[in-house]
Amino acid sequence: MQERKSELSVSTEVIEKMAELAVSEIDGVVGVVKRSVDLKNAIKSGSAFKGVKVESINGAVAINVYVRVAENVKVRAVAEAIQANVKDKIQTMTGTAVTKVNVIVADVEFEAEKQTEETAEEE
Protein backbone atom coordinates (compact mmCIF):
# COMPACT_ATOMS: atom_id res chain seq x y z
CA MET A 1 0.00 0.00 0.00
CA GLN A 2 1.33 3.41 -0.97
CA GLU A 3 1.70 5.92 1.82
CA ARG A 4 0.64 9.48 1.05
CA LYS A 5 2.46 12.32 2.65
CA SER A 6 1.15 15.83 2.85
CA GLU A 7 3.07 18.98 3.53
CA LEU A 8 1.95 22.03 5.46
CA SER A 9 3.08 25.43 4.34
CA VAL A 10 2.39 28.50 6.44
CA SER A 11 3.19 31.95 5.08
CA THR A 12 5.55 34.20 6.98
CA GLU A 13 2.74 36.76 7.35
CA VAL A 14 0.65 34.21 9.24
CA ILE A 15 3.61 33.27 11.45
CA GLU A 16 4.13 37.00 12.15
CA LYS A 17 0.51 37.31 13.30
CA MET A 18 0.82 34.20 15.48
CA ALA A 19 3.98 35.59 17.06
CA GLU A 20 2.31 38.96 17.68
CA LEU A 21 -0.55 37.21 19.48
CA ALA A 22 1.89 35.15 21.55
CA VAL A 23 3.73 38.33 22.56
CA SER A 24 0.49 40.04 23.62
CA GLU A 25 -0.22 37.19 26.09
CA ILE A 26 2.78 38.09 28.27
CA ASP A 27 2.28 40.25 31.36
CA GLY A 28 4.33 43.43 31.22
CA VAL A 29 4.08 43.80 27.45
CA VAL A 30 2.18 46.90 26.38
CA GLY A 31 2.31 45.97 22.72
CA VAL A 32 4.34 45.30 19.63
CA VAL A 33 6.17 48.33 18.28
CA LYS A 34 5.83 48.94 14.59
CA ARG A 35 9.33 49.33 13.16
CA SER A 36 10.20 50.47 9.68
CA VAL A 37 11.61 47.80 7.40
CA ASP A 38 13.76 48.08 4.33
CA LEU A 39 12.15 49.35 1.13
CA LYS A 40 12.46 46.03 -0.73
CA ASN A 41 10.44 44.17 1.92
CA ALA A 42 7.94 47.03 2.20
CA ILE A 43 7.14 46.79 -1.51
CA LYS A 44 6.98 42.99 -1.41
CA SER A 45 4.77 42.78 1.67
CA GLY A 46 2.73 45.93 1.12
CA SER A 47 3.55 47.19 4.60
CA ALA A 48 6.36 49.55 5.53
CA PHE A 49 6.02 48.93 9.27
CA LYS A 50 6.25 45.66 11.14
CA GLY A 51 6.67 44.77 14.78
CA VAL A 52 7.52 41.15 14.05
CA LYS A 53 9.94 39.94 11.43
CA VAL A 54 10.10 36.27 10.44
CA GLU A 55 13.01 34.89 8.48
CA SER A 56 12.73 31.41 6.98
CA ILE A 57 16.00 29.46 6.92
CA ASN A 58 16.06 25.89 5.56
CA GLY A 59 12.55 25.08 6.74
CA ALA A 60 13.00 26.63 10.19
CA VAL A 61 12.27 30.20 11.24
CA ALA A 62 14.07 32.92 13.16
CA ILE A 63 11.85 35.62 14.64
CA ASN A 64 12.57 39.20 15.72
CA VAL A 65 9.97 40.96 17.85
CA TYR A 66 10.03 44.64 18.77
CA VAL A 67 8.08 45.25 21.97
CA ARG A 68 6.97 48.05 24.23
CA VAL A 69 7.02 47.12 27.91
CA ALA A 70 5.42 48.69 30.97
CA GLU A 71 7.56 50.54 33.46
CA ASN A 72 8.73 48.68 36.57
CA VAL A 73 8.83 45.26 34.91
CA LYS A 74 11.81 42.95 34.99
CA VAL A 75 12.81 43.29 31.35
CA ARG A 76 14.92 40.13 31.29
CA ALA A 77 12.06 38.03 32.72
CA VAL A 78 9.55 39.53 30.27
CA ALA A 79 11.91 38.93 27.32
CA GLU A 80 12.50 35.31 28.36
CA ALA A 81 8.75 34.75 28.73
CA ILE A 82 8.21 36.22 25.24
CA GLN A 83 10.88 33.95 23.77
CA ALA A 84 9.43 30.83 25.35
CA ASN A 85 5.80 31.65 24.47
CA VAL A 86 6.51 32.63 20.86
CA LYS A 87 8.65 29.54 20.26
CA ASP A 88 6.08 27.23 21.87
CA LYS A 89 3.07 28.71 20.03
CA ILE A 90 4.71 28.72 16.58
CA GLN A 91 6.12 25.20 16.91
CA THR A 92 2.87 23.83 18.32
CA MET A 93 0.57 25.52 15.82
CA THR A 94 2.65 25.03 12.67
CA GLY A 95 5.09 22.22 13.36
CA THR A 96 7.83 24.52 12.08
CA ALA A 97 11.06 24.61 14.07
CA VAL A 98 11.92 27.98 15.61
CA THR A 99 15.68 28.41 15.78
CA LYS A 100 15.65 31.67 17.71
CA VAL A 101 13.43 34.44 18.98
CA ASN A 102 15.16 37.81 19.34
CA VAL A 103 13.33 40.24 21.60
CA ILE A 104 14.14 43.90 21.08
CA VAL A 105 12.73 46.20 23.76
CA ALA A 106 12.09 49.23 21.59
CA ASP A 107 10.12 51.34 24.05
CA VAL A 108 8.98 51.64 27.66
CA GLU A 109 5.59 53.04 28.59
CA PHE A 110 5.68 55.18 31.71
CA GLU A 111 2.52 55.75 33.76
CA ALA A 112 2.75 59.55 33.30
CA GLU A 113 3.05 59.06 29.53
CA LYS A 114 -0.02 56.80 29.51
CA GLN A 115 -2.11 59.34 31.46
CA THR A 116 -1.08 62.15 29.08
CA GLU A 117 -2.15 60.06 26.07
CA GLU A 118 -5.52 59.20 27.68
CA THR A 119 -6.19 62.86 28.49
CA ALA A 120 -5.39 63.86 24.91
CA GLU A 121 -7.80 61.19 23.57
CA GLU A 122 -10.65 62.42 25.77
CA GLU A 123 -10.40 65.98 24.45
- Note the pLDDT tens digit of each residue in 45-97: 555 567 899 999 888 999 999 999 999 999 999 999 999 999 999 999 999 99
Which of 6-10, 11-15, 77-81, 115-119 has the largest mean confidence?
A: 77-81
pLDDT of amino acid 108: 92
Mean per-residue pLDDT, 8-31: 91
The answer to the question of residue 4 being in a domain is no
Residue 45 counted as domain residue: yes
What's the whole-model pTM score? Answer: 0.76
Query: What per-residue confidence (pLDDT) applies to 50?
Result: 79
Q: How far apart are CA 98 and CA 91, in angstroms?
A: 7
In a domain, 115, yes or no: yes
Q: What Å distances lie between residue 13 and 56, 92, 106, 110, CA to CA?
A: 11, 17, 21, 31
Nearest to 47 by CA among 32, 61, 34: 34
**Residue 68 domain-assigned (yes or no):** yes
Range 106-110 average pLDDT? 91
| Domains: count for the chain | 1
- In this prediction, residue 111 carries a pLDDT of 81
- Residue 105 structural domain: 12-122
Is 7 inside any structural domain? no
Q: Partners of 53 in the beta sheet?
A: 64
CATH number (domain holding residue 20): 3.30.70.1350
Give domain status of residue 109, yes or no. yes
* Of the listed ranges 39-43, 49-53, 58-62, 107-111, the one predicted with least confidence: 39-43
In a domain, 32, yes or no: yes
